[in-house]
Structure 1
């Protein structure tokens, strides 16, 4: 008689951002990737998907969106950001195949480490054998990870591989205004242009800036204007 596995135990403090959902993701040229991820998260698509792209393009947002999308259809899911959890050791990946959806971010953090590669290889095989969904993300393509285990590199090139491409400036401006409106904020075109020209232009940092401005405007009971942005951000 087989022994029932213990529930998966994960480190405390790792949660999903509430705003990291598909409906908040402005796709730009990434519409196909978004559609396939949503289908996979709900158990209607591919068993394995690999995303890659440089920091700020939205890979982490998409992985967390998958976990949020799994909840309404009662699928068990977990988001594992290796940038925060690689210190836990490859044992972290044990028994994750119990879950119907596993999303692992920052795979590049453990590439080239034999024990991690072995653990990821075996997780891939277990997930595939029982029909559960594995979604990985990294800052580079599978062939550029510098993996030491050839069988793992082969596995990571199975299924769908998407490069998540950055938004153009016009789409970033639209996305920034849409996110502000969702929070009940009004950003003028002048403010949006100022943010684009004086701060970091990648979407992740633009949203961090918006978070800060939202908090400071609420505290100061002031509208977000260019002078207010200059004061808060020191630009």
Structure 2
């Protein structure tokens, strides 16, 4: 029997909404969300949010950037010549900080400027700044002083809510059986759920089929529970 025709799926970007109204708080992220809501009443002018990939760090950073007027740069792009302009609004987000991509002198000067100008800095990273292996002793000392708020892997309730939201972001209404099935098949991180939702949407377009449990079972049947 011939396979059913597959439609060429257009490579369309589905924007993940990262506003305050779209954020789903729960025990894994409530400490970090509470600190964002407290701004500018922070324990220091620099703060780090640390947690695994896909745990909502960028969403929290986006909420704070909207509140504070902060500019957003990636750690990989952070360079000393850009620092005065980067702090022009008095607030800055540096995303995905890791020792292997950081310009150590740029970050050291940035932390000094934040303190001198009484500006605000929010860093996102997978691990706390004090654990980064940096070669500049003065930078290591500065990083140890940066307060850290954690985000962790989502619990069942938060993971379920986020899964529904990700489908809704793509204008897809799905039933409970699909959500429950995905929770047993696609891992426990937000990143894995995001990838699964994207894959299901793409497969449905190619096969001209609805996004449902049957399609998910075909797509993820070999995934470990």
Q: What TM-score results when the alignment is normalised by the length of structure 1?
A: 0.73
Partner of residue 62 from structure 2, selected from 58, 61, 64: 64
Alignment of 1:128-207 (within 5 A): 128-181=115-168, 183-207=170-194
Q: Say whether residues 1:36 and 2:35 are aligned partners.
A: yes
For the 8 Å contact 1:93–1:120, the answer to whether it is kept is no
Alignment of 1:16-165 (within 5 A): 19-29=17-27, 30-40=29-39, 44-46=40-42, 47-70=45-68, 75=69, 77-82=70-75, 86=76, 88=77, 90-91=79-80, 93-95=82-84, 96-110=86-100, 116-165=103-152
For the 8 Å contact 1:22–1:34, the answer to whether it is kept is no
User: Cα gap change, 1:54/1:157 in structure 2, threshold over 3 Å: closer, same or farther?
Assistant: same
Three-state SS of the structure 1 residue aligned to 2:87 is helix
| Number of corresponding residues | 204
Q: C-alpha distance in 1, partners of 2:58/2:176?
A: 28
- What CA RMSD, in Å, does the superposition of the two structures yield over aligned residues? 2.8
- Structure with the higher helix share, 1 or 2: 1
Shift of the alpha carbon at 1:92?
Answer: 6.2
Q: C-alpha distance in 1, partners of 2:73/2:200?
A: 29
Runs of 4+ displaced beyond 6 Å? none
Q: C-alpha distance in 2, partners of 1:157/1:143?
A: 5
User: Cα gap change, 1:228/1:68 in structure 2, threshold over 3 Å: closer, same or farther?
Assistant: farther
Gaps of 5+ in 2: 1-14
Shift of the alpha carbon at 1:135?
Answer: 0.4
Shift of the alpha carbon at 1:54?
Answer: 1.9
Shift of the alpha carbon at 1:183?
Answer: 4.8
Q: C-alpha distance in 2, partners of 1:69/1:233?
A: 40
Q: Single out whichever of 53-62 and 21-30 deviates more from structure 2.
A: 21-30
Q: C-alpha distance in 2, partners of 1:234/1:20?
A: 31
Gaps of 5+ in 1: 1-16
Shift of the alpha carbon at 1:184?
Answer: 4.1
